[in-house]
Protein backbone atom coordinates (compact mmCIF):
# COMPACT_ATOMS: atom_id res chain seq x y z
CA UNK A 1 0.00 0.00 0.00
CA UNK A 2 1.34 3.42 -0.99
CA UNK A 3 1.46 6.28 1.50
CA UNK A 4 -1.38 8.15 -0.23
CA UNK A 5 -3.56 5.03 0.10
CA UNK A 6 -2.67 4.84 3.79
CA UNK A 7 -3.64 8.49 4.07
CA UNK A 8 -7.07 7.68 2.70
CA UNK A 9 -7.47 4.74 5.07
CA UNK A 10 -6.69 6.75 8.21
CA UNK A 11 -7.78 10.26 8.99
CA UNK A 12 -7.75 12.59 11.97
CA UNK A 13 -10.82 14.59 12.95
CA UNK A 14 -11.36 17.08 15.75
CA UNK A 15 -14.66 17.16 17.61
CA UNK A 16 -16.00 19.73 20.09
CA UNK A 17 -14.68 19.59 23.63
CA UNK A 18 -11.05 18.88 22.76
CA UNK A 19 -11.71 15.36 21.48
CA UNK A 20 -9.78 13.95 18.52
CA UNK A 21 -10.85 10.95 16.44
CA UNK A 22 -8.58 8.75 14.35
CA UNK A 23 -10.74 6.76 11.96
CA UNK A 24 -9.42 3.58 10.36
CA UNK A 25 -11.45 2.88 7.25
CA UNK A 26 -10.22 0.23 4.83
CA UNK A 27 -13.31 -1.97 4.67
CA UNK A 28 -12.15 -4.10 1.73
CA UNK A 29 -9.60 -5.74 4.08
CA UNK A 30 -11.61 -5.37 7.30
CA UNK A 31 -9.13 -2.64 8.26
CA UNK A 32 -6.09 -4.92 8.11
CA UNK A 33 -3.09 -2.71 8.84
CA UNK A 34 -0.38 -2.42 6.20
CA UNK A 35 3.09 -1.20 7.16
CA UNK A 36 2.29 2.17 5.64
CA UNK A 37 -0.89 2.34 7.71
CA UNK A 38 1.07 1.74 10.90
CA UNK A 39 3.42 4.56 9.90
CA UNK A 40 0.49 6.82 9.03
CA UNK A 41 -1.09 6.06 12.41
CA UNK A 42 2.17 7.03 14.10
CA UNK A 43 2.21 10.32 12.20
CA UNK A 44 -1.38 11.09 13.25
CA UNK A 45 -0.59 10.28 16.87
CA UNK A 46 2.33 12.73 16.66
CA UNK A 47 -0.04 15.36 15.28
CA UNK A 48 -2.37 14.79 18.23
CA UNK A 49 0.55 15.11 20.63
CA UNK A 50 1.49 18.50 19.18
CA UNK A 51 -2.02 19.91 19.62
CA UNK A 52 -2.30 21.23 23.18
CA UNK A 53 -6.03 21.86 22.75
CA UNK A 54 -6.81 18.12 22.63
CA UNK A 55 -7.78 16.31 25.83
CA UNK A 56 -8.90 12.89 24.59
CA UNK A 57 -8.39 10.65 21.56
CA UNK A 58 -10.79 8.04 20.17
CA UNK A 59 -9.66 5.36 17.71
CA UNK A 60 -12.40 3.66 15.74
CA UNK A 61 -12.82 1.48 12.68
CA UNK A 62 -15.86 0.55 10.63
CA UNK A 63 -18.97 -1.45 11.63
CA UNK A 64 -17.43 -4.73 10.44
CA UNK A 65 -14.01 -4.29 12.02
CA UNK A 66 -11.89 -2.22 14.35
CA UNK A 67 -8.66 -3.75 13.01
CA UNK A 68 -8.49 -7.36 11.83
CA UNK A 69 -4.72 -7.61 12.21
CA UNK A 70 -1.84 -7.18 9.78
CA UNK A 71 -2.21 -6.92 6.03
CA UNK A 72 -0.87 -10.34 5.06
CA UNK A 73 0.07 -9.10 1.57
CA UNK A 74 2.95 -7.23 3.24
CA UNK A 75 4.41 -10.57 4.31
CA UNK A 76 4.72 -12.13 0.87
CA UNK A 77 8.52 -11.73 0.79
CA UNK A 78 9.28 -11.39 4.50
CA UNK A 79 12.40 -13.12 5.86
CA UNK A 80 13.44 -13.55 9.49
CA UNK A 81 15.16 -10.17 9.85
CA UNK A 82 12.27 -8.43 8.05
CA UNK A 83 9.90 -9.74 10.68
CA UNK A 84 12.00 -8.17 13.43
CA UNK A 85 12.03 -4.86 11.54
CA UNK A 86 8.29 -4.99 10.98
CA UNK A 87 7.59 -5.58 14.66
CA UNK A 88 9.91 -2.70 15.58
CA UNK A 89 7.99 -0.35 13.26
CA UNK A 90 4.68 -1.39 14.80
CA UNK A 91 6.16 -0.98 18.28
CA UNK A 92 7.19 2.61 17.52
CA UNK A 93 3.57 3.51 16.74
CA UNK A 94 2.13 1.66 19.73
CA UNK A 95 4.67 3.27 22.06
CA UNK A 96 3.82 6.71 20.69
CA UNK A 97 0.13 6.08 21.31
CA UNK A 98 0.82 4.92 24.85
CA UNK A 99 3.08 7.92 25.34
CA UNK A 100 0.28 10.44 24.88
CA UNK A 101 -0.56 12.29 28.07
CA UNK A 102 -4.25 12.47 27.16
CA UNK A 103 -6.80 9.69 27.63
CA UNK A 104 -7.16 7.31 24.69
CA UNK A 105 -10.27 5.28 23.89
CA UNK A 106 -10.63 2.35 21.48
CA UNK A 107 -14.15 2.18 20.00
CA UNK A 108 -14.34 -1.43 18.85
CA UNK A 109 -16.87 -2.94 16.47
CA UNK A 110 -16.66 -6.30 14.69
CA UNK A 111 -13.24 -7.91 14.30
CA UNK A 112 -10.57 -6.88 16.80
CA UNK A 113 -7.92 -9.49 16.21
CA UNK A 114 -4.16 -9.89 16.27
CA UNK A 115 -2.62 -6.45 15.94
CA UNK A 116 -6.08 -4.96 16.37
CA UNK A 117 -6.38 -6.43 19.87
CA UNK A 118 -2.91 -5.13 20.69
CA UNK A 119 -3.79 -1.68 19.33
CA UNK A 120 -6.93 -1.60 21.48
CA UNK A 121 -4.86 -2.54 24.53
CA UNK A 122 -2.47 0.32 23.79
CA UNK A 123 -5.43 2.61 24.46
CA UNK A 124 -6.49 3.63 27.95
CA UNK A 125 -10.13 2.50 27.67
CA UNK A 126 -12.05 0.16 25.36
CA UNK A 127 -15.75 0.15 24.47
CA UNK A 128 -17.22 -2.56 22.24
CA UNK A 129 -20.31 -3.41 20.25
CA UNK A 130 -22.33 -6.55 20.86
CA UNK A 131 -20.95 -8.12 17.67
CA UNK A 132 -17.29 -7.49 18.53
CA UNK A 133 -14.92 -10.45 18.43
CA UNK A 134 -11.53 -10.36 20.13
CA UNK A 135 -8.51 -12.64 20.00
CA UNK A 136 -5.09 -13.49 18.59
CA UNK A 137 -5.64 -16.26 15.99
CA UNK A 138 -2.13 -16.25 14.53
CA UNK A 139 -1.62 -19.97 15.22
CA UNK A 140 -4.21 -20.84 12.56
CA UNK A 141 -3.66 -17.97 10.11
CA UNK A 142 -0.05 -17.28 9.21
CA UNK A 143 1.93 -18.94 12.00
CA UNK A 144 3.96 -15.97 13.18
CA UNK A 145 4.48 -14.79 16.77
CA UNK A 146 3.94 -11.50 18.52
CA UNK A 147 6.47 -9.69 20.69
CA UNK A 148 7.00 -9.91 24.43
CA UNK A 149 5.90 -6.29 24.65
CA UNK A 150 2.61 -7.09 22.93
CA UNK A 151 1.94 -10.11 25.12
CA UNK A 152 2.51 -7.83 28.11
CA UNK A 153 0.08 -5.24 26.70
CA UNK A 154 -2.61 -7.85 26.33
CA UNK A 155 -1.83 -9.47 29.69
CA UNK A 156 -2.05 -6.13 31.48
CA UNK A 157 -5.68 -5.98 30.36
CA UNK A 158 -6.98 -9.57 30.43
CA UNK A 159 -4.26 -11.50 32.26
CA UNK A 160 -1.56 -13.83 30.98
CA UNK A 161 -3.64 -17.05 31.06
CA UNK A 162 -6.31 -15.51 28.81
CA UNK A 163 -3.70 -14.17 26.37
CA UNK A 164 -2.03 -17.57 26.14
CA UNK A 165 -5.42 -19.21 25.64
CA UNK A 166 -6.17 -16.79 22.80
CA UNK A 167 -2.85 -17.62 21.14
CA UNK A 168 -2.84 -21.39 21.74
CA UNK A 169 -6.45 -22.05 20.75
CA UNK A 170 -6.64 -19.33 18.06
CA UNK A 171 -10.26 -18.90 19.14
CA UNK A 172 -12.03 -15.54 19.40
CA UNK A 173 -14.01 -14.26 22.38
CA UNK A 174 -17.39 -12.64 21.91
CA UNK A 175 -18.10 -9.17 23.28
CA UNK A 176 -19.66 -10.24 26.57
CA UNK A 177 -16.81 -12.63 27.32
CA UNK A 178 -14.30 -9.90 26.48
CA UNK A 179 -16.15 -7.60 28.88
CA UNK A 180 -15.91 -10.23 31.64
CA UNK A 181 -12.17 -10.56 31.01
CA UNK A 182 -11.77 -6.80 31.47
CA UNK A 183 -11.03 -6.07 27.82
CA UNK A 184 -14.12 -3.88 27.42
CA UNK A 185 -15.18 -1.21 29.88
CA UNK A 186 -18.69 -1.70 28.53
CA UNK A 187 -20.58 -3.16 25.57
CA UNK A 188 -23.18 -1.23 23.56
CA UNK A 189 -25.73 -2.55 21.04
CA UNK A 190 -24.38 -1.32 17.71
CA UNK A 191 -21.97 0.94 15.81
CA UNK A 192 -24.12 4.06 16.09
CA UNK A 193 -24.38 3.61 19.86
CA UNK A 194 -20.62 2.97 19.96
CA UNK A 195 -19.79 6.31 18.35
CA UNK A 196 -22.16 8.15 20.67
CA UNK A 197 -20.83 6.43 23.77
CA UNK A 198 -17.19 6.95 22.80
CA UNK A 199 -17.84 10.66 22.30
CA UNK A 200 -19.56 10.83 25.69
CA UNK A 201 -16.73 9.03 27.49
CA UNK A 202 -14.21 11.24 25.69
CA UNK A 203 -16.10 14.32 26.84
CA UNK A 204 -16.15 13.02 30.41
CA UNK A 205 -12.42 12.36 30.64
CA UNK A 206 -11.59 15.57 28.76
CA UNK A 207 -13.28 17.54 31.56
CA UNK A 208 -11.14 15.92 34.25
CA UNK A 209 -7.77 17.05 35.61
CA UNK A 210 -5.22 16.61 32.81
CA UNK A 211 -2.27 16.21 35.18
CA UNK A 212 -4.04 13.37 36.99
CA UNK A 213 -4.75 11.61 33.70
CA UNK A 214 -1.17 12.12 32.50
CA UNK A 215 0.24 10.85 35.81
CA UNK A 216 -2.02 7.79 35.84
CA UNK A 217 -0.96 6.88 32.32
CA UNK A 218 2.71 7.38 33.22
CA UNK A 219 2.32 5.07 36.23
CA UNK A 220 0.91 2.41 33.92
CA UNK A 221 3.84 2.83 31.55
CA UNK A 222 6.37 2.55 34.37
CA UNK A 223 4.72 -0.58 35.74
CA UNK A 224 5.05 -2.27 32.33
CA UNK A 225 8.63 -1.19 31.59
CA UNK A 226 10.13 -4.40 32.97
CA UNK A 227 8.99 -6.26 29.85
CA UNK A 228 11.49 -4.25 27.79
CA UNK A 229 14.21 -6.50 29.24
CA UNK A 230 12.63 -9.69 27.86
CA UNK A 231 14.54 -11.02 24.84
CA UNK A 232 12.30 -12.05 21.96
CA UNK A 233 14.33 -11.50 18.78
CA UNK A 234 15.21 -15.20 18.48
CA UNK A 235 11.52 -16.14 18.63
CA UNK A 236 10.56 -13.55 16.02
CA UNK A 237 13.31 -14.71 13.66
CA UNK A 238 12.42 -18.36 14.16
CA UNK A 239 8.76 -17.82 13.24
CA UNK A 240 9.08 -15.16 10.55
CA UNK A 241 11.89 -17.11 8.90
CA UNK A 242 10.12 -20.46 8.95
CA UNK A 243 8.66 -22.54 6.14
CA UNK A 244 5.44 -22.62 8.16
CA UNK A 245 5.17 -18.84 8.03
CA UNK A 246 5.65 -18.82 4.26
CA UNK A 247 3.00 -21.54 4.00
CA UNK A 248 0.65 -19.57 6.24
CA UNK A 249 0.98 -16.43 4.12
CA UNK A 250 0.49 -18.38 0.87
CA UNK A 251 -2.55 -20.15 2.32
CA UNK A 252 -4.08 -16.92 3.57
CA UNK A 253 -3.63 -15.18 0.23
CA UNK A 254 -4.87 -18.29 -1.59
CA UNK A 255 -7.91 -18.56 0.70
CA UNK A 256 -7.17 -22.13 1.75
CA UNK A 257 -6.32 -23.89 5.00
CA UNK A 258 -2.64 -23.78 5.91
CA UNK A 259 -0.67 -27.01 6.31
CA UNK A 260 1.74 -26.35 9.15
CA UNK A 261 4.60 -28.81 9.74
CA UNK A 262 6.59 -27.15 12.51
CA UNK A 263 9.60 -26.17 10.45
169-201 pLDDT, tens digit each: 999 999 999 999 999 999 999 999 999 999 999
- Give the pLDDT score at 1: 52
Integer Cα distance of 109 and 63 in angstroms: 5
Integer Cα distance of 53 and 78 in angstroms: 41
Percent of the chain with pLDDT over 90: 71
Which of 235, 257, 258 is closest to 246 using CA atoms? 258
Under the banding of pLDDT at 50, 70 and 90, the label for residue 228 is low
* DSSP alpha helix (H) spans, the chain: 3-9, 35-50, 80-99, 115-121, 148-158, 160-169, 175-180, 191-206, 210-223, 233-240, 243-253
Q: Quick check: 73 pLDDT over 90?
A: no
Cβ atoms 166, 146 nearer than 8 A: no
Integer Cα distance of 223 and 77 in angstroms: 37
Under the banding of pLDDT at 50, 70 and 90, the label for residue 2 is low
Angle between helices 80-99 and 35-50 (to 10 degrees): 20
> Is the whole model's pTM more than 0.85, yes or no?
yes
- Give the pLDDT score at 235: 86
Which has more confidence, 170 or 231?
A: 170
Query: Minimum mean pLDDT among 38-47, 159-168, 230-239: which range?
Result: 230-239
Q: What is the pLDDT of residues 75-112, one digit of tens each?
A: 877 777 788 899 999 999 999 999 999 999 999 999 99
CB-based burial label for 200 (10 Å; 0-12, 13-18, 19+): exposed
- Give the pLDDT score at 82: 82
Task: Report the alpha-carbon angle 187-217-49, nearest 5.
Answer: 95
Q: Quick check: 5 pLDDT over 80?
A: no
Give me the CATH topology for the region 3-211. Answer: 2-enoyl-CoA Hydratase; Chain A, domain 1 (3.90.226)
Integer Cα distance of 173 and 165 in angstroms: 10
Q: How many helices (H) and strands (E) does the chain have?
A: 11, 10
Amino acid sequence: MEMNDAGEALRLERAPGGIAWIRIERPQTRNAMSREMWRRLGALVAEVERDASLRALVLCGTPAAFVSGADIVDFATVQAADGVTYEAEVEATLAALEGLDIATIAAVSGACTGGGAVLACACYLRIGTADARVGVPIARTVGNVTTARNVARLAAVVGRPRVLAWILTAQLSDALAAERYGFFLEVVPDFEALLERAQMVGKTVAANAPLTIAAAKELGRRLSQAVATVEDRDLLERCYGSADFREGVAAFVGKRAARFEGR
